[in-house]
Structure 1
Amino acid sequence: MPARSLFATRLYEARIDNQRLLAELARSIRIFATDDDAGKRWSREKRYAGYTSYASLNDLPRRDPAFEDLRKLLARHAAEFAGEVAFDLARKPKLDSIWVNLLKPGGHHAGHIHPHSIISGTLYVEAPKGSGAIRFEDPRLGQMMAAPVRREDAPDDLRPFVAVEPEPGLLLMWESWLRHEVLPGTAKADRLSISFNFA
């Protein structure tokens, strides 16, 4: 009998081709990065290479019509992803938090998870060539003990790490327990993205 896969980890990928929406979101991110003093202060204190509204603005869909349009779009994708991973939910996933990121060249994020949520994700709004990839870690990594190194041609579902290169309009969603990080990039311009959690 052939081997079968167990305990799969799914990564949802979609393309957002609405150029008007992406342009409006990019404009808003740059305005927030200029006007949000609390976010700028938090970013400096935490040594974030750029700006994030993670700890400052918690009302983006009420604050900005483009983010309300995005909320509706993300809700449809989250419902589809929840179905793909066979979540047995009493209601559709609900957007719990959403924040913007303006990452300067060379900036990165250390490995982390998103507690208290079920689906997390990122939409890349502007991603110049060479923007740092997002890298996902096999959640079993700490249990592998003496596992051999995988061959270079191993498929993604057998690798201990899988990196995805950001592109404008790329939407990624994953289960919130999946550890991930943003690798330093070589781009010369800022990378704009929007991250979110569903509960």
Structure 2
Amino acid sequence: MTDLTLSPNLSRLFVTEIYRADLTKVAGFNATLDELEDTCRGMADDDETGQDWSQKHGYLGYTSYASIEDVSKHASVFEDLKRQLDIHVNTYATQIELDLNNRKLKLVSMWINILDQYGTHSGHIHPHCAVSGTFYVSVPPGASAIKFEDPRLPQMMAAPLRRLSGRPDRQNFISFQPLRGTLLLWESWLRHEVPINLSEEPRISISFNYA
């Protein structure tokens, strides 16, 4: 018989940490947000290559992912956002103790996502990067959350499901509901998706990769 007086304990290992910040708290950034929204909409109207790619691949709305690799080089307001991202991404890298050999992570791509009603974005990772994330420009009522998947899921085989009432860090899937101005960061190997968007107005975000 096990002697429970020995005070057995649990060790928490292989942690997955997601970073969340509210950029509306940055002085003057609400005006930047307004300009970002106008610029995203304007680029979507002008980018025929991105429109064609979105339609061909069943993306309800618009993404510049395949047409404009780094929007920060196309409008100064994205450079304003990049300055904030540089700070937060490298803060996150320090917090999760990445060994970068005294270098800083740098932006390698940034693109616009405008998701119309009933649009989705299926599960995926961001290969060949260290940190990825999304900044939320417009999140109307009913807009979808972002859903993260336990990276161990393919190896779980016959593992029982977790109780829905259990702790968030023990669930196989966790959703984050962003707000306008929310910044989310995660390690690029973490699989994630955007479930069906039920908002009548477009859900606008800017995604990016650092390496």
Q: TM-score w.r.t. structure 2 length?
A: 0.92
Q: How does 1:19-98 map to 2 (within 5 A)?
A: 19-90=30-101, 91-98=103-110
- The question of 1:117 aligning with 2:129 is answered yes
**Residue identity in the other structure for 1:168:** R
Aligned to 2:3: none
| Structure 1 segments of 4+ aligned residues over 4 angstroms from their partners | none
Matched residues, number: 199
Q: Distance in 1 between matches of 2:181 and 2:79?
A: 17
Shift, 1:183, TM fit: 0.4
Deviates more, 1:96-105 or 1:144-153: 144-153
Q: Distance in 2 between matches of 1:155 and 1:130?
A: 25
Query: Could you give the per-residue CA deviations for residues 122-146 of structure 1, whole angstroms, max 9, x where no partner exists?
Result: 0110011211111000001111122
Identity of aligned residues (%): 47
Q: Distance in 1 between matches of 2:144 and 2:99?
A: 35
Gaps of 5+ in 2: 1-7
Q: Distance in 1 between matches of 2:122 and 2:72?
A: 27
**Residue identity in the other structure for 1:49:** L
Shift, 1:84, TM fit: 1.2
> Is residue 164–residue 171 contact of structure 2 (8 Å, CA) maintained in 1?
no
Q: Distance in 1 between matches of 2:9 and 2:140?
A: 42
Gaps of 5+ in 1: none
Q: Distance in 1 between matches of 2:112 and 2:47?
A: 11
Q: Distance in 2 between matches of 1:172 and 1:189?
A: 21
Query: Could you give the per-residue CA deviations for residues 62-83 of structure 1, whole angstroms, max 9, x where no partner exists?
Result: 2111100111110100000101
Match of 1:142 among 143, 147, 154: 154
Q: Distance in 2 between matches of 1:153 and 1:131?
A: 24
- The question of 1:3 aligning with 2:15 is answered no
> Is residue 115–residue 197 contact of structure 2 (8 Å, CA) maintained in 1?
no
Q: Distance in 2 between matches of 1:166 and 1:73?
A: 18
> Is residue 70–residue 111 contact of structure 2 (8 Å, CA) maintained in 1?
no
Q: Distance in 2 between matches of 1:181 and 1:44?
A: 19
Q: Distance in 2 between matches of 1:62 and 1:52?
A: 16
**Residue identity in the other structure for 1:16:** L
Secondary structure at the aligned position of 1:99 is classed as strand
**Residue identity in the other structure for 2:115:** L
Q: TM-score w.r.t. structure 1 length?
A: 0.97
> Is residue 116–residue 203 contact of structure 2 (8 Å, CA) maintained in 1?
yes
Shift, 1:166, TM fit: 2.3
Q: Distance in 2 between matches of 1:146 and 1:42?
A: 40
- The question of 1:164 aligning with 2:171 is answered no
